[in-house]
Structure 1
């Protein structure tokens, strides 16, 4: 099997890190495979949601593989540019779900935070080990953590390198749901089904609107015109939603 497995089942894309012997640390070849996966997810209209998961109970991902040293050639934008480290930031337009178990540290923590929903096994631990081991760079994980966690919790994790356990992460609002490891895959599938039950075009337009103005004042966001929202108006799915509501039935989305 490849170190990154990419499959599509129905409207759900699955991006699965498959290097458990190295705690799913990301090599340059895996980085390229991830970049290709993000591109396919963005461009394929039949993909409505993506689940990012990993093999092995011990680790979701510990970031870049530094077994050969930290010097790199080529892009090596960890996560195929998803996180924007050392390369162009790739914005995935479709909803993303992270199914996290074991260690999600460094770049692995950042990949989880890049997702819109995080389902965590009880074994999950999130952390930023950089300062603890004397390594710090232009790490996006710091910038995301300070935005997605309460200030003092984020700063404690950044400055001490101590990990945040799954239940704590749930308390802080970082994680949507905590389940047993045996139920992790099924829980991610349940979230994917919930998202697929909504109109894909509306979901994608809503994600774009929410994220693209996240760091702007409310007044600016309220006055902004969002092209994806405008493009969704008048589509077959919008008409189907109105018809289904009128006819008191479940809508049948096409995503076109």
Structure 2
């Protein structure tokens, strides 16, 4: 997969966008390779957390590569299904960290917002250029922006097409951490290690429960059964957590 680098180190999967000369714009081939990466992350029980990065200093991703046309369904390829644009939505069951630098525009901004944790280099510029460029296609990025940013801040970005700097994104709660570009990879890895130190099955159950009821009224969510959490009660990791607590030692998770 030349335009996508996929590696596994320990329990951490690394997915790297690798078209820096095209500002990591996603073409149909990249889209298919990303889908293969998400499928492997979901399938492989040894993968507990994933990091999405991009090659080059200029851009994380500027969205779909319009120069390469559309996929066979006649719609732009984007994100291997992670954004739900151009096909069925792919739900990543493992935590995803996006390490973002340079331009994160349009669909690239949306791809970052699909992550559970965002670490941004100080050089990052988030943007929704659709209205400014006069090109309006899919609007998934706008739906996500209005949910992840304060209402008027998101509307300002959407209506003007102006960009947001990393420091402002941090202040608005869009990103978890801002670091210097040279520290971006290390910061993302540090987040991955912190997540991997927890029970992987508990993390996956918690993510599923939170996202499945995100838009439900609180009283309904509180009264809802969560099958992944109930199933976790019968796992080896649940018992290991209890033993480790009683024995005052660090748990040894097995993901079972």
Instruction: Name structure 1 gaps, 5 residues minimum.
Output: none
CA RMSD of aligned residues (A): 1.1
* Residue of structure 1 in register with 2:229 after alignment: 229
- Paired position in structure 2 for 1:25: 25
- 4+ residue segments displaced more than 3 Å: 74-77
The structural deviation recorded for 1:137 is 2.1
Note if contact 2:240-2:252 (Cα within 8 Å) is conserved in structure 1: yes
TM-score of the two chains, using structure 2 as the length reference: 0.97
Distance in 1 of aligned mates of 2:139 and 2:5 = 26
- Are 1:54 and 2:41 an aligned pair? no
Deviation at 1:86, TM superposition (A): 1.9
Tell me the CA shift for residue 72 of structure 1: 4.2
The alpha-carbon deviation at position 77 of structure 1 amounts to: 4.3
Q: CA deviation at 1:107?
A: 0.6
The number of aligned residues is 255
The separation in 2 between residues aligned to 1:25 and 1:17, in whole angstroms, is: 9
Please give the alpha-carbon distance, in whole angstroms, between the structure 1 residues aligned to 2:178 and 2:138.
30
Aligned match of 2:118: 118
Q: 1:47 to 1:68 in 2, by over 3 A?
A: closer
2-structure distance, mates of 1:89, 1:56? 28
Distance 1:78 1:72 in 2: 10
Structure-1-length-normalised TM-score = 0.97
CA displacement at 1:220 relative to structure 2? 0.7
Give 5+ residue unaligned stretches, structure 2.
none
Please give the alpha-carbon distance, in whole angstroms, between the structure 1 residues aligned to 2:236 and 2:86. 40
Alpha-carbon shift at residue 68 of structure 1 (Å): 4.1
- Tell me if structure 2 keeps the 8 A contact 1:77–1:88: no
Alpha-carbon distance in structure 2 between the residues aligned to 1:13 and 1:208 = 19
